[in-house]
Chain A
Amino acid sequence: MAKEIVVISGKGGTGKTTLVGSFAHLASQKVMVDCDVDASDLHLLLNPRVREEHEFYGGSIASIDKEKCSECGFCESMCRFEGIKDFQVNSLNCEGCHFCYHLCPEGAIEMKEEMAAKWYLSETRHGPLIHGRMGIGAENSGKLVAALRRKSWELAREEGARYIISDGPPGIGCPVIASITGADLALIITEPSLSGLHDLERIADTSKHFRVPLLACINKYDLHEGKSQEVEDFCGKKDIKVAARIGFDPGVSASLVEGVPLTEYSQGRASREVKSLWQEILNNL
């Protein structure tokens, strides 16, 4: 069975997508999946050609039939999400809980399935990519992540892939939990700063809570060697192996501008460090 490796960070913007793009270039027999459905960027490095397009219905939104509505205001008074005001539904506030639908004495409320996202199975020059895009302000990103992962498992089985490489979202909440639960390995990428360290602590605790095996790496470690040491000390204490220290390298931004994975774009120091990180991951699976 394919091994699923998910790259997460807690703090955003520490280099998750740069790593996943490079792993896509370095690994053989793999499937990629972009679980950062809020702000997905992996497609900008892999230049996908869409093979299948799917619609994702995450939940439903109340809708009031003006003809039937007697304007009694019961729905508005009972809704806990300020989803209804003056007999009109505020679709950004509506939680999709159906309470008003069940309550309405006139049967004037209908729940309409909301297309929360589109998701795709694409071909890239480095193999298949499963990716999606949440509707603006849409809910249920965790459910979409679960759907993307299911597809990646299915595809990995069909293609006999050895690895599933997943680009995770920032934070520690719903889409993160949906991304890491049951994965074979979570790689945390952090940076040497107070924020990076603080966020590392919370994502490490979250990963341990869901019993996901962990590796860590420090990006731009040389921007603050003292803080890098603190990150290493923390990892040591928590028994998390630090698999790489990647130096600050302007080549990284340049590779993003070119839209090419770092390891494909450059042979510079960050690129070499990412290559040895991938080897280290394989040794730890």
Chain B
Amino acid sequence: MKVAVASGKGGTGKTTVAVNLANLIKEDYQVYLLDCDVEEPNAHLFLKPSFEKSYPHTVPVPQVNQDNCDYCGRCSEVCAFNALAILKKKILFYEHMCHSCGSCIYFCPREAMVEVPREIGLMEVGFYRGMGFVHGILNIGEAMAPPLIKEVKKYQDRAQVTVIDVPPGTSCPVVASLKNIDFCLIVTEATPFGLNDMDLLVQLLKELKVPYGVVLNRADLGDDGVEKFCKREKIPLLLKLPFDREIARLNAEGVSLIEEITWVREAFKDLWSGMKELMKFHG
């Protein structure tokens, strides 16, 4: 069972929900937590896992052997991303533009190009109290997150339940994070911003044909727009959490809420049984 935690809008509490949910589920199931927010990974701050394996993640990029190259320009012609430019006796390669499609290598008539690995980030794999933990950390200055997210996603079939922390937004990093999942938990807040961005995410989930339910965070700071929307669209509202200074304080310190606050633990139990029912998961 693969469950993603996403939001559209940033800062609604995705990581908090993902971490606490995973912590609760691991009491009964074998669990992996995957942090797909490779631009700003935070789940490890709450779990402090011990990492057993870490390795750089690379993408293949072309390297030109100038001896074989006759500057015919075919590579630059087939590159759809303007990553290759030909000067009179020189090939310029803009590595940040390259999408690693392999086109230039294949079409070079003189076999003057080879693929070499280029590092874009770091992968870390470890454990926290029996729960598997995986995240990727995108290198500073690196533009493209999806290749690293795909690497993190390789670990999504290793346990009975996988919880996936998704980056904010609705574009390519989010699409990459939501690939091949069974359920998406939308974490939003009770403001018009929360509603607007949740609406965008719902449209994406419909297109991906993924079932979903909602956690409404800081439900008492804002209005009833999200609740009305859920009712109208028949979206299950699985959990409402109020704004609470104690939660804010514990969260700021990276403390697991379900171990510190009894009513939060009960609330997450309800959330998980609601999700199990929706997913028809009885494993």
Given contacts A13-B10, A14-B11, contact A173 B78 (CB under 8 A): no
Report whether B40 and A170 are in contact in the complex, using a CB–CB cutoff of 8 Å.
yes
| B166 CB, nearest partner CB in chain A, Å | 12
Residue tally, chain A, CB below 8 Å to B: 64
1/0 per residue, CB under 8 A from B, across A146-180: the answer is 00000000000000000000000111111111000
B207 x A137 contact (CB < 8 A): yes
- Identify which of residues 119-150 in chain B touch chain A, using a CB-to-CB cut-off of 8 Å: 138, 140-145
Question: Are B144 and A12 touching (Cβ within 8 A)?
Answer: no
Interface flag for B234 (CB, 8 Å): no
Whether the pair B12, A13 counts as a contact (CB closer than 8 A) is: yes
Partner of B252 from A96, A98, A171, A223 at Cβ < 8 Å: A223
| Binary per-residue interface labels of chain A (202-244) against chain B in the complex, 1 for a CB within 8 Å, 0 otherwise | 1101100110000000001001100100000000000000000
Task: Report chain B residues within 8 Å CB of A13.
Answer: 9-12, 168, 189
The residues of B that contact A10 with a CB separation of less than 8 Å are 40
**Is chain B's binding surface mostly helix, strand, loop or mixed?**
loop
Assess the A172–B140 pair: CB atoms within 8 A: yes
With known contacts A13-B9, A173-B142, A256–B203 Cβ distance under 8 A = no
B172 proximal to A (CB < 8 A):
yes
Residues of B within 8 A of A193 (CB): 251-254
Q: Which residues of B contact A169 (CB under 8 A)?
A: 169
**What residues on A are CB-neighbors of B190 within 8 Å?**
253
A198 adjacent to B45 (CB under 8 Å): yes
> In whole Å, how far is A191's beta carbon from the nearest beta carbon of chain B?
8
A38 at the interface (CB under 8 A from B): yes
The yes or no answer to B269 lying at the interface (CB within 8 A) is no
Give, as a whole number of angstroms, the nearest-CB distance from B28 to chain A.
Answer: 27
Q: B193–A17 contact, CB under 8 A?
A: yes
Interfacial chain A residues near B249, Cβ < 8 Å: 223-224
Tell me, in angstroms, the Cα distance from A173 to B174 when the chains sit together.
13
| Bound complex: CA A171 to CA B81 (Å) | 23
B54 beta carbon closer than 8 Å to chain A: no
- Bound-state CA distance A227–B101 (Å) is 44
Q: How far is the CA of A223 from the CA of B145 in the complex (A)?
A: 32
Docked complex Cα distance between A175 and B168 (Å)? 12
Contacting residue for A257 out of B37, B101, B172, B223, CB 8 A: B223
Interface assignment of B15: CB less than 8 Å from any CB of chain A: yes
- By a CB distance below 8 angstroms, the chain A residues around B40 are 10-11, 170-172, 195, 198-199, 202-203
- B109 interfacial by beta-carbon distance below 8 Å: no
**Given A209-B141, A256-B193: A80 and B222 interface contact (C-beta under 8 Å):** no
Contact A95 B99 (CB under 8 A): yes
Distance in angstroms between the alpha carbons of A10 and B142 in the assembled complex: 14
Distance in angstroms between the alpha carbons of A9 and B172 in the assembled complex: 20
Docked-complex contact B191 and A257, CB < 8 angstroms: yes
Say yes or no: is A102 at the interface (Cβ < 8 Å to chain B).
yes
B58 within 8 A of A: no
Quick check: B170 and A137 within 8 Å, CB to CB? yes
Which residues in B have their C-beta under 8 angstroms from that of A256?
Answer: 191-193, 222
Q: Indicate if A97 sits at the interface (CB-CB under 8 A).
A: yes
Known contacts A98-B103, A137-B207; is-contact A44 B196 (Cβ 8 Å): yes
B173 is an interface residue with CB less than 8 A from chain A: yes
Contact A39 to B253, CB < 8 A, known contacts A98-B78, A139-B171, A250-B221: no
> Which residues of chain B come closer than 8 Å to A142, judged between CB atoms?
143
Interface flags for A182-207 (1: CB within 8 Å of B; 0: not) read 00000000011111101100110110
Additional pairs, 13, CB under 8 Å, beyond known A170-B39, A173-B138: A9-B10, A38-B168, A39-B169, A44-B193, A97-B103, A136-B204, A139-B172, A170-B10, A172-B138, A205-B140, A223-B249, A253-B190, A253-B191
Nearest 6 CB-CB pairings of A with B: A12-B10, A13-B11, A38-B169, A97-B101, A193-B252, A171-B39
- Residues of A at the B interface (CB closer than 8 Å) are 9-14, 17, 37-39, 41, 44, 59-60, 78, 80-81, 92, 95-99, 102-103, 134, 136-139, 141-142, 169-177, 191-196, 198-199, 202-203, 205-206, 209-210, 220, 223-224, 227, 250, 253, 256-257, 259
List, sorted by A's number, 13 A–B pairs whose CB atoms are closer than 8 Å.
Answer: A12-B12, A14-B10, A38-B168, A60-B80, A78-B102, A78-B106, A80-B102, A81-B101, A97-B99, A99-B78, A137-B170, A209-B141, A253-B218
